[in-house]
Structure 1
Amino acid sequence: MNEQLTGLPATSDIAKAQAKRLRSALAPDLMIGHSQALELIARVHGEQSWGRLNSLIGVPTSDTSLTGNPNGNAPAMPIPSGTPSETAKSPALPTNHVEQRVLQALWHGLERARDTQASAKTRAQTNALLKDEVIATVSVEGWLDTLDASLGGMIFDMGSENLLKISGIAAVSRFRRPKVRDTSVYGFTGLRPASFAAILIWLERLGFDTHPDAFYEPFIADIKQAKYVDQDELTCLWHSKEKKRFQTREYFVDATTNITNVRHDVVKGRGGLTIEIARSTDPLGLIESLRIYR
């Protein structure tokens, strides 16, 4: 494994930045989606898929540190910076705190939001993704690219990890069953199909035309016949039965950036949504908070 990890990007953000630069370098002669660029970056680094590369990035090079090998030493735990008293004094961030890049990506996405149409490419992408029990989170970006490149770009700009955080949708972990002599396992995190659809529903309720029904249509019949369903399956079920406009109340704030000269604006979004934005009047246009409601 040590040889396999040599030369890999230090973080997934670096790999994603490489993919973005690759897209820019190929355009306009060859237009590819960000998910395709990620797969190409994975091949450049000697891996068969982005999911595989992403699972290896940042992983310690010792097999024992991955699994707690009973025949080896326990992995060293990182020592937190600062004294215990300094750590205790750090104020807790509000639950609706998000990074500045998330606010920027979301706001620019709302500005560009428009009607879209599910195409044959969208349906083909859906069929391909539903072949797997767990879908890579980054695939949300590629699926949205089939509707509107600006939607996929918004997810890229905010980061798929942040998308999970602000939407409240949880990823699941899956591990390849180890053989008798194995001392390590290969694992990854991703989204179950209903969770993938729940993200699309959440984005739709923010005013984005994401066509969640185009994704959950192949498996909604199974949900309707099930005796018990989980939260994301229930979200799909309710969405398929909605006869009136849904309620939307979301409030995001950057609690760590010091923003001055803040101006408050109220604008109308798609589908009757109201958007309140508090942002700086300086050239950077830093956003203090974003409230979206109907």
Structure 2
Amino acid sequence: IRPDTLGPFDYETENYTKLLWVAEGGTAYYEGILLRRADLINDKDMLESKVAVIKALQNRPGRFETSLEDASFDAWIKYYRQDENSVNNQISYYDKGELVNFLLDIEIRTASNGAKSLDDVMRYLYNEFFKKGRNYTPADYQKTTEMMAGKSLDEFFNKYVRGTAEIDYNSILNGIGLKLTVEGSNKKQAYLGAALAENDGKLMVSSIPADTPAYQQGLNTADQIVAIDGNRASQTFLQSYLSQMKLGDKVKLTVFRFDTLRELDITLGEQANQNYSIVPVENPTDAQKRLYKNYLLADLK
């Protein structure tokens, strides 16, 4: 089953398609499904794997800047050429593609009352496209999913495939008796907000997500942090030092930027660890229980 431009290949040029979120993200989604069907993992393991993907996506500012179709199309010029600002303007079509195909499968199962699933989409594409020597387009994929769902999925595709809307997880998960919960830890920690890497004794800023204290107060990617409040900086020391501080505390960072020594006064923010879980809804209906069992081969509990 091949997306539009992916085959026959011209190996002398780059091949651009908006469907890598299906070809690659869909494959990643089926990895978990097949493990469940082979009984190598249980239903809870399957859902936990999706929780990890959700948490990573929700912590990435780039989800508001790049759609799944754009991430697919721009793979050659962006995904394989990551830079320091990628966290703020890019997403992975593998990860979000896996997640959106997961939600799309649930949407089809719910809309069809369990009669159809993403499996039927793949069978149709295999029979009507691959066997007939045709490649499918973005419009073909949406049309096929709508055929199986028995309704328009234009809103779903406009928001989550062509657009950058925040995903309304529970509106979809509820169909099979599930909900996403997000709980903050009672213990909040002061934080800087920069991703750091220590190599050969040098503590370097590797990336800075938007809307963090580091981003807002002048720390730059590729800065080398040499001291914090006059103490030699290391990854271990910085983590330990910040763990003793609270929201609003100030630290002085001494950094090398392009071989020029600078000092930055940073007011620390506060961050609570977010715990994500996919759990059963209270008092699920018989229909929700049936759809869950048909999907994940286990009782909803």
Tell me which interval the TM-score lies in, with the shorter structure as reference length: under 0.3
* Richer in strand (by share): 2
Question: Per chain length, whose mean CA-contact separation is higher, i.e. which structure has more relative contact order (CA < 8 Å, sep 6+)?
Answer: 2
Normalised by the size of structure 1, how large is the TM-score? 0.27
> Normalised by the size of structure 2, how large is the TM-score?
0.27
Q: Tell which structure's C-alpha radius of gyration is larger.
A: 2
